[in-house]
Amino acid sequence: MLVCHLLGRCDGFHDYESGIWGYTWAAGTSVCGSNVVSFRDPHANLQNREDWTYTGLGKDLHLADGQYYITFQAINNVVHGGALVTTVCHSQNYTVDTTPPLVNEVGDLLFDEDFDILGVYFNVSDDGSGIARVDFGLGRTKYDVFVRAYSRHHFMTRDDPYLVIEDLGLAPGVQAWIRVRAVNNGEYISIFYF
């Protein structure tokens, strides 16, 4: 479990007939859920509406890896008849992922010295948050990238992902270690070299 803070923000709501009396917010493991942070007023400690930030903060939460959702409610300012609540459930999830991606396989390596092109086939995965990108570098040893610094590449979502690197600029006879690192959406990294 990860101890962290969870922040939810909205741009505010408008009720042209009665105005807005207040807001509540919550966080949960499902859309409209409140099992992580129960509904609470994000402005409870503020006296003036001018100070409202429309931001809810859950502190020191023990969150397991998984998906989390933010929900905001606006309560209108009806004087007679009782207040009405409008609930907006945020369907874009927030992912907590504390595990690095998996390097399943390094496949073919193709080099064309006439066109100065290198192709690298690989198989990486991350069930927690998915692969964000793949970085490529060349090193004098398997532990560095002194020949060519890391360059970032979008991850191809396909059965046989690969990188194509053009203009390597290697001098004849120079040996180099290929380093590829997979980065997940939680910014955890797995590095493989060959």
pTM for the full model? 0.69
Report the pLDDT value the prediction gives residue 119, as an integer from 0 to 100: 93
Of 91, 40, 41, whose CA–CA distance to 70 is shortest? 91
The encoded tokens of residue 49 equal 């509406």
pLDDT tens track for 16-56? 888 888 889 999 999 999 999 999 999 888 888 888 888 88
**DSSP assignment of 75-130:** EE--SSS---EEEEE--S-EEE--SPPEEEEEEEEEEETTTTEEEEEEEEE-TTT-
Report the pLDDT value the prediction gives residue 149, as an integer from 0 to 100: 94
CA distance linking residue 193 with residue 168, whole number of Å: 17
* 177 within 8 A of 126, measured Cβ to Cβ: no
Q: Where do the H-state alpha helices sit in the chain?
A: none
**AA letter at 27:** A
pLDDT tens track for 97-147? 888 999 888 889 999 988 989 999 999 999 888 999 999 999 999 999 999
CA distance linking residue 40 with residue 71, whole number of Å: 11
169 Rama class: left (phi>0) / alpha (psi -120 to 50) / beta: left
CATH 2.60.40.10 maps onto the chain at 102-193
The listed CATH number (2.60.40.10, 3.40.190.290, 2.40.50.140, 2.60.40.1120) that belongs to domain 102-193 = 2.60.40.10
The encoded tokens of residue 182 equal 């997979």
Report the pLDDT value the prediction gives residue 1, as an integer from 0 to 100: 64
Q: Does residue 79 carry a pLDDT above 80?
A: no
CA distance linking residue 82 with residue 45, whole number of Å: 24
Q: What is the largest CA-CA distance in the chain?
A: 86
